[in-house]
Structure 1
Amino acid sequence: MSGTTMPSGGGPAERTTASGYDDEDGEPHGVSEEELFDVLGNTRRRNALHAIATAEERTHELGDLSERVAAWENDVTVAEVDYAERKRVYTALQQSHLPRLDDAGLVEFDKDRGTVDATPALEDVEIYLDVVRGNEIPWSEYYLGLSAVSAALLAAVWVGAYPFTLVPDLGWFAFVVVAFTVSATANRYYSTGMKLGGDDVPPGVE
């Protein structure tokens, strides 16, 4: 098993590892990083993959899958999902999302039978969402922005710009250190349990 760490580009960041071997011919069966970024950029697709990955059975009925995803999206139990909520998710999964996941090689979708199977590629992929909680931006972009703000702040202090001179230089340096420390602590805290397929509910769903 080989690992690949990837920053995100324009959506929730995913840290993924994907590798494996086809049982029949011994050829690698993997999903490219670009394909994963594209597929996982959609919340409903992520939720569907999470439902498939956490279920004990290999084959999933489209109706049952739709109810589970709809329950997460509407913050209700499966029993509380109404017809309109289920139908909306069912149609989107059937017509768009599951065919897309099938094309990516992560699932096998039989539209005629209305069933979905996990593929070996999905079983070999470890996916961690790495987004700032409450904001759909990757931590990498957050840290880049924090670095830019810190650099601008320290430059203003260095040239003696007002009103930054009202606070001692050491105070501003301490502020930057604390900002990065708090951010790193929050990053580590919220990253716990952010693995698709790791818990009963998808990452980001309370």
Structure 2
Amino acid sequence: METADRDDPTEQEVFDVLSNRRRRYALYALLNDGETTIGSLADRIAAWENDCAVADVTPAERKRVYTALQQSHVPKLERLGLVDFDADSGRISPTDVTADVDAYLDVVDEPRQSWTRFCVGVSALSVGLAAAVWLDLPLVGAVDPRLWLTLVAGLVTTATVTRTYRSSNRDLESEPPDVNRP
């Protein structure tokens, strides 16, 4: 199916897709690995579901996941334009639309509240510091404002680079994000 032939999925369709754990796992793996075979994808998902290494997945566990992917999940993802699937070769690949779903998976990937709190904290610190410099308060006013600007810019840049690096280097040998256990 050509993904250009249809509109992007609605938010409701995306939430419907993500309501199923196997589809979340499939999208998570495809976003990180790129193109793969449905067999390799079934192995990875079966390992996550059974809390074992890919090498330890039994044929029965693999078959259950493979069958569900082939008959239900992959066709649904393909209908919505989230994956391209070649039934002849068994190859499945993400589309441009798949990357849009990453924002939804990111909420599952790590606690969003902690990132939001951090951003609010950096913003509050920046505004407070700007006000202190503008009011020429003691101690703060004694330091060159360019130094404060450099400090805040460095903090924001470091946080952004760290966040981007963490999002792009997920450990796929571990469990997917929504099943990590304490």
In the other structure, the counterpart of 2:69 is 93
Structure 1, unaligned stretches of length 5 or more? 1-21, 132-185
Hey, what does 2:130 align to over in structure 1? none
Cα 1:190/1:91, change in 2 over 3 Å: farther
Cα–Cα, structure 1 residues 202 and 196, in superposed 2: closer, same or farther, change >3 Å? farther
SS of structure 2 residue aligned to 1:109: strand
Match of 2:133 in 1: none
> Counterparts of 1:60 and 1:45 in 2: how far apart (Å)?
15
2:104 corresponds to 1:127: yes
TM-score by length of 1: 0.52
Task: State the Cα distance separating 1:101 from its structure 2 match.
Answer: 0.4
On the 8 A contact 1:67/1:81 being kept in 2, the answer is yes
The counterpart of 1:111, out of the listed 84, 87, 101, is 87
Cα deviation code 1:3-32 (max 9, x no counterpart)? xxxxxxxxxxxxxxxxxxx9x8xx996321
Task: Tell me whether 1:80 sits opposite 2:56 in the alignment.
Answer: yes
Alpha-carbon shift at residue 199 of structure 1 (Å): 1.9
Q: Is the 8 A contact 2:85 2:92 kept in 1?
A: yes
**Structure 1 residues 190, 78: closer, same or farther in 2, change over 3 A?**
farther
Amino acid at match of 2:104: I
Runs (4 or more) in structure 1 with deviation over 3 Å come to 128-131, 195-198
User: Are the counterparts in 2 of residues 50 and 196 from structure 1 also a CA contact under 8 Å?
Assistant: no
From 52, 60, 69, the counterpart of 2:45: 69
Residue 190 of structure 1 deviates from its aligned partner by 9.7
Letter in 1 for 2:179: V
Aligned pairs for 1:158-169 within 5 A:
none
Give ranges in structure 2 of 5+ residues lacking alignment.
117-162
CA distance in 2: counterparts of 1:83 and 1:189, whole angstroms = 40
Normalized per residue, which structure has more helix?
Answer: 2
2:176 is matched with which residue? 202
Q: Is the 8 A contact 1:53 1:123 kept in 2?
A: yes
Q: Give, in angstroms, the shift of residue 129 of structure 1.
A: 6.0
1:38 CA drift (Å): 1.1
Residue by residue over 1:48-78, the C-alpha shift from the partner in whole angstroms, topping out at 9 and shown as x without a partner, is 11111111xx421111110001000111010
Count of equivalent residues: 126
Partner of 1:204, secondary structure, is helix
